[in-house]
């Protein structure tokens, strides 16, 4: 399977069949595993071989299928699946950092990621420096010989700013720092973060990988040594492992991931183009538009603008709320990457916790609206957005 194309890997990668020869992956909904003998149990606790299981917090065949499939797509040696995207972010950082270490992180982060970096890590003696992720000068100034790791979202939420993975990785590597990338907005379909220099890649699989709004999950990808010696001991002893039910749902999500995400991104591109210059909008932010300040980087790093579009309504919060309330197909929620198109007003929901000046610094104005484009018909979505804008 390793030499096959991504779509083939997504359908067949990691498959294990039971003695029944089922076509669709089996869900092994079990916490534990029976040993043939006391000797076998002892042996397994000394050293579990491949596909030898002990307890579902340590590993499970359905979860292993999910891990192998996503690792194959990413070109990663190994993966550890987690209970949520935040379990993955927390596990990736906590498993490798200790008191006295220095972490440099981009400032534009998902609220919960920011909480880990700004509130939790410093409590345990990790020194954290926040930088503007798009400004390589700031990365260069902040990363030094004591820096143990750098962390960033390769495309930020919700302002869709990119971080140059190759350039930041080069800066980090010069000081021996590990590069940890939250790659959710870039998606596993468009991003090749490991090949571009990242050491550890994280996904909230709640988003595009599930893709149909059912389950919370996450995954940490990296070298076999890093996943098995650093990540796995932390995750299996602290309880953030993925459930077999989630793994089963998300294995099916992986099968259609490429088809869905490519259709979503194509639609997002057309929607962004149709909105540019609209009189009710101050700006349209989409990395696939030539007007995006990092359009060239988006092409080089992703070859796509991905599935999210942000628009800033000229009329501020009132206009944004009127727009949200006038939409007919696109639902008001806060997930993303879903088959259903979703609209979010970040300033009053996902980023409400931030101080006003922090929001300003991140471009999260009262008029900013985030759209996650789903797989509905593009013309219907454009019609829905245009009608709602007309009602503003
Ligand atoms: C959603 C999200 C997370 C957290 O994932 P959960 O599955 O909700 O825990 C982390 N990072 C980014 C960029 C996200 O969008």
Q: pLDDT tens-digit profile of 80-104?
A: 999 999 999 999 999 999 999 999 9
Domain edge (last residue) among 223, 253, 283: 253
Q: Is the pLDDT of residue 361 over 90?
A: no
Residue 184 CB less than 6 A away from ligand 1: yes
Task: Say whether pLDDT at 239 is over 90.
Answer: yes
Does any domain span residue 338? yes
Instruction: Measure the CA–CA gap between 363 and 354, rounded to whole angstroms.
Output: 12
Are 229 and 118 part of one and the same domain? yes
Q: Do 117 and 265 sit in the same domain of this protein?
A: no
Pocket test for ligand 1, best of 85, 157, 246 (most atoms within 8 A of CB): 85
Average pLDDT on 354-359 reads 88
Q: What is the pLDDT of residue 2?
A: 82
Short-list 359, 353, 350, CA closest to 332: 350
The residue whose CA has the least distance to atom 2 of ligand 1 is 204
| Ordered alpha helix ranges (H), 53-178 | 61-74, 85-94, 111-115, 121-123, 136-142, 165-174
Asked if residue 245 lies in contact with residue 215, where contact means CB atoms within 8 angstroms, the answer is yes
Q: Which residue's CA is the nearest one to ligand 1's atom 11?
A: 110
What is the rounded average pLDDT of the residues 27-44?
Answer: 97
Q: Give percent of the chain with pLDDT exceeding 70.
A: 100
> Residue 204 C-alpha to ligand 1 middle, in angstroms?
5
Q: Is residue 355 in some structural domain?
A: yes
Q: What is the pLDDT of residues 259-271, one digit of tens each?
A: 999 999 999 999 9
Per the prediction, the chain carries an average pLDDT of 97
* More reliable by pLDDT, 355 or 338: 338
Question: Is 210 touching ligand 1 by the criterion CB < 6 Å?
Answer: no
pTM confidence score: 0.97
Q: Residue 1: inside a domain, yes or no?
A: no
- Residue at 362 is within a domain: yes
* 37-46, 243-252, 349-358: least confidently modelled range: 349-358
Q: Is the pLDDT of residue 201 over 90?
A: yes
Q: Which domain holds residue 138?
A: 6-253
Orientation of helix 244-275 relative to helix 378-391, angle to 10°: 60
Please check whether residues 262 and 349 belong to one and the same domain.
yes
Task: Measure 324 CA to ligand 1 centroid, in angstroms.
Answer: 22
Quick check: is 365 in a domain? yes
Tell the residue number behind the tokens 């420096």, with chain if given. 129
Nearest ligand 1 atom to the CA of 86 is: 9
- How far does the centroid of ligand 1 lie from the alpha carbon of residue 320, in Å? 24
Pair 247, 205: CB distance under 8 Å: no
Tell me, in angstroms, the distance from the centre of ligand 1 to residue 184's CA: 7
Q: Could you tell me if 179 and 285 lie in one domain? A: no
Q: Are residues 98 and 44 in the same domain?
A: yes
In a shared domain, residues 241 and 361:
no
Question: Do residues 208 and 278 both lie within one domain?
Answer: no
* Atom 5 of ligand 1, nearest CA residue: 85
CA distance 14 to 25: 10
Residues 95 and 211 in one domain: yes
Residue 286 lies in a domain: yes
Nearest atom in ligand 1 to the alpha carbon of residue 335 is: 1
| Distance from the alpha carbon of residue 195 to the mean position of ligand 1, in angstroms | 22
Q: What pLDDT does residue 33 have?
A: 97
Whether residues 359 and 327 fall in one domain: yes
* CATH code assigned at 373: 3.90.1150.10
Which pLDDT band holds residue 119 (cuts at 50, 70, 90)?
very high
Q: How far is the CA of 87 from the centre of ligand 1 (A)?
A: 9
81 in a structural domain: yes
User: Which of 253, 280, 309 corresponds to the end of one domain?
Assistant: 253
CA separation for the pair 176, 174 (Å, rounded): 6
Taken in order 56, 58, 60, 62, is the CA torsion positive or negative? Answer: positive
Mean pLDDT (whole number) for 332-337 = 96
Both 119 and 180 in one domain: the answer is yes
Count CB atoms within 10 A of the CB of residue 378.
Answer: 18
- Out of 222, 253, 284, a domain closes at 253
pLDDT above 90 (res 290)? yes
Q: DSSP readout, 125-143?
A: T-EEEEE-TT-HHHHHHH-
- 62-85 pLDDT per residue, tens: 999 999 999 999 999 999 999 999
244 and 326 both lie in a single domain: no
Cα–Cα nearest to 366, from 382, 381, 385, 345: 345
Does ligand 1 have an atom closer than 6 angstroms to the CB of 338?
Answer: no
Q: What was the pLDDT predicted at 354?
A: 85
How far apart are the two ends of the chain, measured CA to CA in Å? Answer: 52
- Atom of ligand 1 at shortest range from CA of 206: 7
Total domains in the chain come to 2
| Pocket residue to mutate for ligand 1, from 184, 193, 200, most atoms within 8 A of Cβ | 184
Q: Is the same domain home to 338 and 248?
A: no
The answer as to whether 279 is a domain residue is yes
pLDDT bucket at 338, cuts 50 / 70 / 90: very high
CB within 8 A of 61, min separation 6: which ones? 16, 26, 28, 51, 53, 244
Q: What is the CATH number of the domain that holds 121?
A: 3.40.640.10
Nearest CA to ligand 1 atom 8: 85
């Amino acid at each position: 399977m390793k030499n096959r194309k991504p779509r083939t890997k997504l359908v067949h990668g990691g498959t294990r069949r039971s003695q029944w020869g089922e076509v669709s992956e089996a869900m092994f909904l079990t916490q534990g595993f029976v040993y043939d003998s006391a000797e076998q149990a002892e042996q397994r606790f000394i050293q579990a071989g491949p596909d030898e299981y002990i307890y579902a917090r340590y590993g499970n065949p359905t979860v292993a299928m999910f891990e192998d499939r996503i690792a194959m797509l990413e070109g990663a040696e190994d993966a550890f699946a987690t209970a949520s995207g935040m379990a993955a972010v927390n596990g990736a950082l906590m498993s490798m950092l200790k008191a006295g270490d220095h972490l440099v992180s981009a400032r534009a982060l998902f609220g919960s990621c920011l909480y880990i970096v700004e509130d939790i890590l410093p409590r345990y003696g990790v020194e954290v420096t926040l930088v503007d992720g798009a400004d390589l000068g700031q990365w260069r100034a902040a990363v030094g010989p004591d820096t143990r790791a750098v962390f960033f979202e390769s495309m930020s939420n919700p302002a869709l700013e990119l971080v140059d993975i190759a350039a930041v990785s080069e800066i980090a590597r010069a000081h021996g720092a590990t590069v940890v990338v939250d790659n959710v907005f870039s998606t596993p379909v468009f991003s090749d973060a490991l090949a571009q220099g990242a050491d550890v890649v994280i996904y909230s699989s709640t988003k595009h990988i599930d893709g149909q709004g059912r389950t919370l999950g996450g995954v940490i990808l990296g070298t076999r040594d890093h996943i098995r010696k650093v990540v796995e001991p932390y995750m299996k002893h602290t309880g953030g492992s993925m459930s077999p039910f989630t793994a089963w749902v998300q294995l099916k999500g992986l099968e259609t991931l490429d088809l869905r995400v490519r259709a979503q991104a194509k639609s997002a591109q057309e929607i962004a183009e149709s909105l540019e210059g609209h009189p009710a909008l101050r700006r349209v932010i989409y990395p696939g538009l030539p007007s995006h300040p990092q359009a060239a980087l988006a092409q080089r790093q992703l070859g796509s603008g991905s599935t999210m579009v942000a628009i800033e309504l000229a009329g501020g919060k009132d206009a944004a709320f009127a727009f949200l309330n006038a939409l007919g197909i696109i639902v008001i929620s806060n997930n993303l990457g879903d088959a259903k198109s979703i609209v979010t007003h970040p300033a009053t929901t996902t980023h409400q916790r931030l101080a006003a000046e922090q929001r300003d610094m991140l471009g999260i104005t009262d008029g900013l609206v985030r759209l996650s484009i789903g797989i509905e018909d593009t013309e219907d979505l454009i019609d829905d957005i245009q009608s709602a804008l007309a009602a503003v």
